[in-house]
């Protein structure tokens, strides 16, 4: 099972897009407060389209509450401060994969990252850019985890309706 964890997300449109991605890949979305929006806002629903009702979303008062309710899971921390690329871990060896992303304006606090240095991962990018959009980052890493796990139970082929190969 894939678990996407957002630490203090600020933008409802990003969270809505991430929710839609979670539904598409069967992931649970964990939201750690404070949130920069209310979960019933129109913008979050608009970005998530009609998929939001199918989302398994869980909220937590803070990071400690998240750890307590999830029994201290192994968490990959997505951060521009990491030494390892997101494609390096052997995700297929783990039953539950948790990947945490920080808020749009500041990322994951360094005091949290210090305890997870071995599982910090980054998406490589050119040095002239600070970071990618949060929803894009989640999609990149989520589908890398699923690729490692062989896309079990996923529809992996499509078909043109009007024309046949």
For residue 48, the model assigns a pLDDT of 54
Helix, strand, coil percentages, rounded to 5, for the chain: 40, 20, 45
Is 80 part of a structural domain of the chain? yes
Give the residue numbers of the binding site for S-adenosyl-L-methionine: 102, 123, 131
| 13-65 pLDDT tens trace | 899 999 999 999 999 999 999 998 888 777 666 655 577 788 999 999 999 99
Beta strands in 79-146 (DSSP E): 84-85, 97-101, 120-122
In a domain, 89, yes or no: yes
- Looking at residues 125-154, what average pLDDT do you find? 93
Residue 158 lies inside a defined structural domain of this protein: no
Residue range of the domain that includes 31: 2-148
Q: Which segments of 17-96 are extended strands (E)?
A: 28-32, 57-60, 75-78, 84-85
CATH number of the CATH domain containing 126: 3.40.1280.10
Is 162 within a domain?
no
Query: Is residue 6 over pLDDT 60?
Result: yes
Backbone angles phi, psi at 157, to 5 degrees: -135, 145
Is the sign of the CA dihedral 68, 52, 119, 110 positive or negative? negative
Which pLDDT score, from 0 to 100, does residue 67 have?
96
Domain membership of residue 163 (yes or no) is no
Q: How many domains does the chain have?
A: 1
pLDDT at 92: 79
Q: Is the peptide bond before 7 cis (omega within 30 degrees of 0)?
A: no
Give residue 94's pLDDT band: very low, low, confident or very high (50, 70, 90): confident
Starting at the edge strand that comes first in sequence, how are the strands of the sheet with 2-7 ordered?
57-60, 28-32, 2-7, 97-101, 75-78, 120-122, 84-85
Mean pLDDT of 97-113: 97
Could you list the residues known to form a binding site, using ranges. 102, 123, 131
Decide if 71 is inside a domain.
yes
Average pLDDT, the chain: 90
> Domain for residue 156, yes or no?
no
Task: Specify if 159 maps to a domain.
Answer: no
């Amino acid at each position: 099972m894939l678990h996407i964890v957002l630490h203090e997300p600020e933008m409802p449109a990003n969270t809505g897009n991430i929710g839609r991605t979670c539904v598409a890949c069967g992931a649970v979305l964990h939201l750690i407060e404070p949130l920069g929006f209310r979960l019933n806002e129109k913008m979050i629903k608009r970005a998530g389209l009609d998929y939001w009702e199918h989302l398994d979303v869980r909220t937590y008062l803070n990071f400690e509450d998240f750890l307590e309710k999830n029994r201290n899971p192994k968490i990959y921390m997505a951060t521009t401060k990491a030494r390892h690329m997101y494609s390096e871990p052997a995700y297929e060896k783990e039953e539950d994969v948790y990947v945490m992303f920080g808020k749009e304006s500041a990322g994951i606090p360094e005091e949290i990252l210090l305890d997870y240095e071995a599982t910090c991962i980054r998406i490589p990018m050119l040095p002239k850019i600070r970071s990618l959009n949060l929803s894009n980052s989640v999609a990149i890493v989520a589908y890398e985890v699923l690729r490692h796990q062989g896309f079990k139970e996923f529809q992996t082929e499509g078909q043109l309706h009007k024309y046949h190969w």
